Amino acid sequence: MSTDLQFLIERARSYKMTGEEREEQARSFAYGNTRLENDNITRADIDEAARTMKDEEKVEPVSVCS
């Protein structure tokens, strides 16, 4: 393995992603995997699903038990 490649691997091991980077990576992963199963999926579909999920997290759960 070249020293340049070793350097990059070590640098990647200690890199801490930001929340925004994690979100983008998750969306990219979701897009890539769903696209394999359904050619009609678009990045806009994934973005909309992510927004919906984020909005649902903000809603406080309602107890149906008394």
List the one residue out of 12, 16, 19, 6 whose CA is nearest residue 54: 19
21 neighbors 13 (Cβ within 8 angstroms): no
pLDDT digits (tens, 9 = 90+) for 6-35: 999 999 999 999 999 999 999 999 999 999
Burial of 19 (0-12, 13-18, 19+ CB in 10 A): exposed
List alpha helices for the chain, DSSP H: 3-14, 19-37, 43-58
pTM for the full model? 0.67
- Domain boundary assignment for the chain: 19-51
